[in-house]
């Protein structure tokens, strides 16, 4: 059986790859644990200067949480380390690049958002789909810092996808290229960063994060409280159940 998440290195660049292409690289428990372990391994790897996060295949970076798994679980607020968020629940002090090779929905969007840089294949799409399945998205706190607040509002309220070119125009994505150039571009970007003075790179990265750190910490706390009743609602179970049963959800608003 292959590992659902692999950690490899090419020179100074580490690659953390979600390897569940048949499930659109959905974030089941094994994947979430693999991502957390991989990020910790990168942080401790003195020979790795930059991390690239990607998915196997050309269909999905990650389609988000495994809704079939969710439908079988009891209602609960996800643990604080449910999905790794660098700087919040896992320490990552070196640059990270999301190489988005397909759809990045829900938790996949979270992973792309959480990296320092994001590049995308030209067919990639991004969406926060939680409103379509009655789930929570307190992790979307940084989104209005990455894009304009009204754009963030549209992304969160509609759940509709944004294509790679539009994401680039909005400033969410740094570069867009054909799929067959994605990995080479990510590797070259990682090597370019790795050639720079490491103390300067670390300080530059931290400088950008300082601009949002204090406000985000309070916002995360308030968002966690705001979304808790959503996670515990009947609708939070109805959405994944409807997905599993291949029917339209029947929302109760409770």
What is the separation of C-alpha 189 from the centre of its chain, rounded to a whole number of angstroms? 19
Residues 6+ apart with CB under 8 A from 149: none
Percent helix, strand, coil in the chain (nearest 5)? Answer: 50, 20, 35
Residue 42: exposure state from Cβ atoms within 10 A (0-12, 13-18, ≥19): buried
Instruction: Give per-10-residue mean pLDDT for the chain (254 aa).
Output: 92 98 95 97 98 98 82 69 89 98 97 98 98 90 95 98 99 99 99 98 92 75 84 86 87 88
- Whether 200 is covered by a domain: the verdict is no
**How many structural domains is the chain composed of?**
1
Q: Is residue 206 one of the residues assigned to a domain?
A: no
Tell whether 158 is covered by a domain. Answer: yes
Give the model's pLDDT for residue 72: 64
CB 64 within 8 A of CB 109: yes
Q: What is the per-residue pLDDT for 236?
A: 86
Residue 50 lies in a domain: yes
Within a domain: residue 242?
A: no
Assigned domain for 231 exists:
no
Residue 10 lies in a domain: yes
What was the pLDDT predicted at 210? 86
What is the reported pTM? 0.90
Looking at residue 79, what is its pLDDT? 79
Q: What is the CATH number of the domain that holds 83?
A: 3.90.226.10
Residue 45 lies in a domain: yes
What DSSP character marks residue 251? -
Domain boundaries, position 80: 5-194
């Amino acid at each position: 059986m292959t590992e659902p998440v692999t950690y490899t290195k090419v020179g100074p660049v580490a690659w953390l790859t979600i390897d569940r292409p048949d499930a659109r690289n959905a974030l089941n428990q094994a994947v979430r644990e693999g991502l957390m372990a991989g990020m910790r391994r990168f942080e401790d790897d003195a020979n790795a200067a930059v991390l690239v996060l990607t998915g196997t295949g050309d269909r999905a970076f990650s389609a988000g949480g495994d809704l079939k798994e969710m439908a079988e679980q009891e209602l609960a607020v996800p643990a604080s380390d449910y999905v790794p968020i660098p700087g919040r629940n896992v320490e990552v002090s070196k640059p990270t690049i999301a190489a988005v090779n397909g759809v990045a929905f829900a938790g996949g969007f979270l992973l792309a958002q959480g990296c320092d840089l994001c590049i995308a294949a030209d067919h990639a799409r991004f969406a926060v789909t939680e409103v379509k399945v009655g789930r929570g998205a307190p992790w979307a706190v940084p989104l209005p810092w990455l894009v304009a607040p009204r754009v963030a509002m549209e992304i969160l309220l509609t759940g509709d996808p944004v294509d790679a070119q539009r994401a680039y125009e909005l400033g969410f994505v740094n570069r867009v290229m054909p799929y067959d150039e994605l990995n080479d571009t990510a590797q070259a970007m990682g090597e370019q960063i790795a050639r720079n003075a490491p103390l300067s790179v670390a300080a530059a990265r931290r400088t950008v994060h300082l601009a949002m750190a204090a406000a985000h910490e309070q916002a995360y706390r308030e968002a966690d409280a705001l979304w808790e009743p959503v996670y515990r609602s009947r609708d939070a179970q109805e959405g994944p159940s409807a997905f599993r049963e291949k029917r339209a959800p029947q929302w109760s608003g409770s």
